[in-house]
Amino acid sequence: MKVVLLGAPGAGKGTQAKRISDFYAIPHISTGDIFRENIKNGTELGQLAKSYMDKGQLVPDEVVVSIVEDRLKKEDCQKGWLLDGFPRTLEQAESLAKFTDVDVVLDIEADFGLLEDRLCGRRVCPGCGASYHISTYSKPDCERCGQTLVHRDDDTKEVVRSRLEVYEKQTRPLIEYYAEKGVLKTVDGNLPIEECFAQIREIL
């Protein structure tokens, strides 16, 4: 099963990706997580990625594409994978198509008004990646693994606005691209997490 998750920042890609990956036992590949891991480890790639991420811009296509291409060659990807946050431009989608096919693209659609609030109020666990919202979870530590939750540097109002603009301009055209290929399925990202996941299971 080769699955791509599309959707604006805050639509719930990361949250659903964890559930899909656990339920279907396929690796969850998040380009954002790969960059954050590199930033944490102080690598050259991390430094480069951070200079774009801090402004809410996209890391250059050629950098992201080669990371994903290498990752998909690994042993654990031979029976399937779930891409979260890639592709994000038409160029990335076209590059992906050169080295693999895709079974289904799940487009998680959430109302624009929800996204900013979800992102600015989000707190994430640097250990297991779980994410919470300050309106429904007030503890400082992750429920799953106990690590202290953090407010992502790019979840501030200014950077969030720019990420949403980048999504509209560069990523939204992928919906049509995959619809034309006949692999697009739309999921309602306004729904509560478990209901959204139920929709996804039905599709998959």
Tokens standing for 107? 């487009």
**Footprint on residues 131-190 left by ligand AMP (CB under 6 A):** 154, 163
Q: Does 32 bind ligand AMP (CB under 6 A)?
A: yes
Instruction: Output the residue with the shortest Cβ distance to ligand AMP.
Output: 32
Q: Does residue 83 bind ligand AMP (CB under 6 A)?
A: no
Told to check if 81 binds ligand AMP by CB under 6 A, we report no
Which DSSP string corresponds to 134-149? TTT---SB-TTT-PBP
Residue 175 tokens, joined: 């919906």
Cβ proximity to ligand AMP: between 53 and 108 the closer is 53
Nearest to 7 by CA among 30, 26, 24: 30
Residue 187: its H or E element:
strand 184-188
Cα–Cα distance between 36 and 197 in angstroms, integer?
Answer: 25
Q: List, in sequence order, the alpha helices (H) in 41-136.
A: 44-53, 61-72, 90-99, 112-120
Q: Judged by CB under 6 A, does residue 58 bind ligand AMP?
A: yes
Our answer to whether residue 118 is catalytic in this structure is no
Q: Which position among 50, 71, 152, 185 bears the catalytic label?
A: 152
Inter-residue contact 80 to 62 (CB < 8 Å)? no
CA of 35: how far to CAs of 50, 58, 64, 122, 174, in Å?
Answer: 8, 11, 9, 19, 22
Shortest Cβ distance from residue 197 to ligand AMP (Å)?
19
Q: Which of 12, 46, 85, 189 binds ligand AMP (CB under 6 A)?
A: 85
| Closest separation in Å from C-beta 154 to ligand AMP | 6
Q: Residues in contact with ligand AMP, total (CB under 6 A)? A: 17
Q: Of these, 5, 20, 53, 93, which contacts ligand AMP (CB under 6 A)?
A: 53
Position 59 contacts ligand AMP (CB under 6 A): yes
Task: List, by residue number, the catalytic residues.
Answer: 13, 88, 122, 152, 163
Q: Please give the residue ranges that form the binding site for ligand AMP (CB under 6 A).
A: 9, 31-32, 35, 52-53, 56-59, 64, 85-86, 88, 92, 154, 163
